[in-house]
Amino acid sequence: MNIIWQEANVHTKIFFRERQAVFWGFIFPILLLVLFCSVFGGTPERSTMLVAGLICINVMSGALFATGVVMVAAREQGILRRYKAAPVALWKIITGLLISRLIAITLTTTLLLAMARYFYHILLPTNLVAMIAVFATGALMFCAIAFAVASVARTVAQANGLVQIIFMPMMFLSGATFPSELMPLWMQKVAQILPSSYYVSGLKSVMLTGGGLSDNAVNLAVMGAFILISVGISTRFFRWE
Amino acid sequence: MSNQFAISVRNLTKSYGRVAALKGIDLDVEKGEVFGLLGPNGAGKTTLIEILEGLRKADGGQVSVLGFDPGRELDEIKQRIGIQLQSSSFYRRLTVIEVMRQFHNYYKKRADLEQLLELVALNERRKSYVSDLSGGQKQRLALALALVNDPEIVFLDEPTAGLDAQVRRQLWQAIEQMKRSGKTILLTTHYIEEAERLCDRVCIIDEGLKVVLDTPSKLISGSRTRSARVRLTTLKPLLLAEVNSVTPMEASVNGNATYVLQVDNTGRAIVDLVGAIEKQGNELLELQITRATLEDVFLELTGKEIGK
């Protein structure tokens, strides 16, 4: 447990000491919030919908770019190799990294919710347990996907490309930016295979309509399945060097 | 295998695809000695050392590190050895002391970090980010990490590669201090001077095979290039045909005359040379005698120049 805590601590430091990471992790989501809500907001309900999408975008980038790509970079630079030579279990390092990222993502989301509540009067989830369950499952899912990408990609360039390929459709098709109802039917069908669709749907449900755990059983189950698949890919393909 | 040696290797083989990197190596490293692995680039040094460290898996043969098998008891080995990789990189936004503490905590047995910082002369940079360190300082940090667990064996893969002479000497002193504290040290190097100064025994490997293994002085005295070299400058050109005890290797006449000679019996050669100079009415301006080095041995055995 000590080692896991140490790794979480170390990776939190590494994260917050990179200006770029802080910009993309904290400043950029706030800029997006102001942009989205002042242009498309209008009513608290519409702002709430936009914020649900923003939370998803923010979790995706925090996981895919700030965890997946960073991990590949550490491998490419030979940093991970030194840890392989030490008597420390891989799962402890990964768990520590995961905890540090979940903390960072949770902080941003809290900040986002607080600002959105204050400036745009969004609705707050009435079922807090459901909100936490949906939020955390989605965050875990994207971290797991990030590790899968990091395990499959051989270079930073490949990882970046791969992340872009999955990030872009998830950002635009899953209802995180545009409401899915506005899209043609075939596009809505495509969106159904994207993990982010279930996250956005879950967030909207708990934030907007007071959805509880049972209302989100399908969303939670599908996200759980994505987590299992990603963990499977990661353990099969992970490389230290 | 027995626990008598720090490291024991028998018939070790390793291939990368079709390329055989190690073709059956045998060697024993005694406890407490500094053991040098020498060889041209691509000889298999790093492959060998990384198999011992558990970073690579051997294809065949037996390996024992402190009596443990890297295949089955890697954690036992990792707890007891220290490793400096050929190139080390660290997260750039961690400080020296943070990286050291992180690795420190991975081990059951822990060295005193303050003493370590002093040993590698990084005390004043303890709070510097890794990204702000010079190449030499990073190398010293890597050395410190190899020692955080007060290891029984220290593996150093080209510890002074690319460092300037002054930093290299500092590192040599640190390695000598490690030896005095009873640690077994296995190092690979490109620098003959380093091997001669630090190593109790040297193993030269080439193309995946052991060429020779002995103390540096025995290697030098046992080689065909036992002869010394004499370099002398005289006022006028010298007729060397009269001197039987020397073999001229180089000559240059540019005002004064300078010769490089190979000699087998140094005393005899000097007497003959001085006699010839007097007889010919010449004058000796400069005389320098150098004995054969490990470099000559290396060249003789592998046909290659080290580091090239």
Where along chain B do its domains lie? 7-222, 228-291
In contact, A188 and A180? CB cutoff 8 Å:
yes
Three-state helix/strand/coil letters over B35-49? EEEECCCCCCHHHHH
Question: How far is the C-alpha of A86 from the C-alpha of B118, rounded, in Å?
Answer: 23
pLDDT of residue A241: 80
CA B103 to chain centre: 26
In contact, B246 and B260? CB cutoff 8 Å:
no
Q: Which residue has the higher pLDDT, B199 or B43?
A: B199
Interface subset of A 167-206, CB within 8 angstroms of B: none
Contacts of A237 (CB under 8 A, 6+ apart): A148, A151, A152
Interface subset of B 73-132, CB within 8 angstroms of A: 75, 78-79, 83, 85, 87-91, 93-94, 98, 102-103, 105-107, 129
How many C-alpha atoms does B256 have within 13 Å on its Cβ side? 10
Does B57 score more than 60 pLDDT?
yes
As for the ipTM of the complex, it is 0.89
Q: Which residues of A touch B54 (CB under 8 A)?
A: 85
SS3 A69: helix
In contact, B203 and B44? CB cutoff 8 Å:
no
Q: Using alpha carbons, select from B30, B94, B42, B38 the residue that is nearest to residue B293.
A: B38
pLDDT of residue A130: 96
Probe site for chain B from A88, A91, A241 (most B CB atoms < 10 A): A88
Give the closest-approach CA distance of A46 to chain B in angstroms: 41
CATH topology of domain B7-222: Rossmann fold (3.40.50)
**DSSP conformation class of B63:** E
Interior/surface letters A87-111, b for 16+ CB within 10 angstroms, e for the rest = bbeeebbbbbbbbbbbebbbebbee
Does B171 score more than 90 pLDDT?
no
pLDDT of residue A86: 95
**DSSP conformation class of A180:** G
Of the segments B164-178, B217-231, B254-268, which one has the largest average pLDDT value? B164-178
| B115 burial via Cβ count (<10 Å: 0-12, 13-18, 19+) | exposed
Angle, vertex CA B122, rays to CA B117 and CA B123, nearest 5: 65
Across the range A67-78, mean pLDDT stands at 90
SS3 B31: coil
Band (pLDDT 50/70/90 cuts) for residue A65 is confident
Name the amino acid, one letter, at A191. Answer: A
Across the range B27-47, mean pLDDT stands at 91
Contacts of B132 (CB under 8 A, 6+ apart): none
SS3 B84: strand
Q: Which residues of B touch A7 (CB under 8 A)?
A: 102
Question: How far is the C-alpha of B195 from the C-alpha of B129, rounded, in Å?
Answer: 32
Query: Which residues, listed in sequence order, are joined to residue B15 by a DSSP beta bridge?
Result: B20
Query: Which residues, listed in sequence order, are joined to residue B35 by a DSSP beta bridge?
Result: B186, B201
Across the range B295-308, mean pLDDT stands at 70
Q: What is the pLDDT of residues A159-182, one digit of tens each?
A: 999 999 999 989 888 888 878 788
In contact, B82 and B107? CB cutoff 8 Å:
no
pTM of the full predicted structure? 0.84
Would you call B93 and A14 a contact, using CB atoms and an 8 Å cutoff? yes
Choose among A18, A81, A82: nearest Cβ to B93. A18
| B72 burial via Cβ count (<10 Å: 0-12, 13-18, 19+) | exposed
Would you call B79 and A87 a contact, using CB atoms and an 8 Å cutoff? yes
In contact, B213 and B63? CB cutoff 8 Å:
no
Band (pLDDT 50/70/90 cuts) for residue A1 is low
| B54 burial via Cβ count (<10 Å: 0-12, 13-18, 19+) | buried
SS3 A109: helix
Band (pLDDT 50/70/90 cuts) for residue A138 is very high
In contact, A63 and A146? CB cutoff 8 Å:
yes
Q: CATH assignment of B228-291, given 1.10.287, 3.30.70, 1.10.3470, 3.40.50?
A: 3.30.70
pLDDT of residue B3: 66
State which H helix or E strand residue B206 sits in: strand B201-206
Across the range B255-259, mean pLDDT stands at 85
Interface subset of A 64-103, CB within 8 angstroms of B: 74, 77-79, 81-82, 84-88
pLDDT of residue B268: 84
Read off the tokens for B48.
Answer: 């060998």
Give the closest-approach CA distance of A57 to chain B in angstroms: 26
Query: Which residues, listed in sequence order, are joined to residue B37 by a DSSP beta bridge?
Result: B188, B203
Would you call A74 and B85 a contact, using CB atoms and an 8 Å cutoff? no
Give percent of chain A with pLDDT exceeding 70. Answer: 100
In contact, B238 and B205? CB cutoff 8 Å:
no
Does B226 score more than 60 pLDDT?
no
Whether the CB of B172 is below 8 Å from some CB of chain A: the reply is no
pLDDT of residue B306: 64
Does B308 score more than 70 pLDDT?
no
Task: Sort residue B307 into left (φ over 0), alpha (ψ -120 to 50) or beta.
Answer: left
